[in-house]
Copies of this chain bind each other. A is one copy, B any other.
């Protein structure tokens, strides 16, 4: 169904560059599960490593936003970009990190509202108010 092969654990074991990233994903996330995103990317070990390093740097460690807020922002972008897989995976991640049904409901309401006002603004081609400009 995908346009690339999904690299299996056996194949990952055979390529040290892929194995190193899969090992780090498992250690960082404290789970043996590797989702299809990484199995697809593993066709290109360089992009696999760069993408995982970026994601780990942005989303983990000493962050300004809480993990659940990070995931809700991720859902918002993924929805607007119409990425079905991403909406599924980050909704699951947000729930695992504490998103309650009330938070999910409000997230969806904001996403819908923003899309509505985005389109209204674009259809009206409004000039930016001076007070919104930096300096």
User: Which A residues are closer than 8 A to B by beta carbons?
Assistant: 1-6, 33, 35-37, 40-41, 43-44, 46-47, 50-51, 54-55, 57-59, 63-65, 69-70, 72-89, 91-92, 100-129, 131-135
Q: How many Å from the CB of A37 to the closest CB on chain B?
A: 6
Q: How many Å from the CB of A77 to the closest CB on chain B?
A: 4
Number of chain copies forming the complex: 6
User: Are B106 and A58 in touch, CB under 8 angstroms?
Assistant: yes
Q: How many Å from the CB of A128 to the closest CB on chain B?
A: 5
| Among B47, B77, B124, contact of A3 (Cβ-Cβ < 8 Å) | B124
User: Are A110 and B58 in touch, CB under 8 angstroms?
Assistant: yes
| Among B44, B76, B107, B115, contact of A108 (Cβ-Cβ < 8 Å) | B44
Given contacts A37-B121, A134-B4, contact A128 B83 (CB under 8 A): no
| Among B112, B120, B125, contact of A84 (Cβ-Cβ < 8 Å) | B125
- A selection of 27 A-B contacts at a CB cut-off of 8 Å is A1-B125, A1-B133, A1-B134, A2-B127, A2-B134, A5-B135, A6-B126, A35-B131, A35-B132, A44-B108, A46-B109, A54-B113, A58-B110, A64-B102, A73-B114, A77-B79, A77-B119, A79-B119, A79-B123, A81-B122, A85-B126, A86-B118, A87-B125, A91-B132, A108-B123, A112-B119, A115-B116
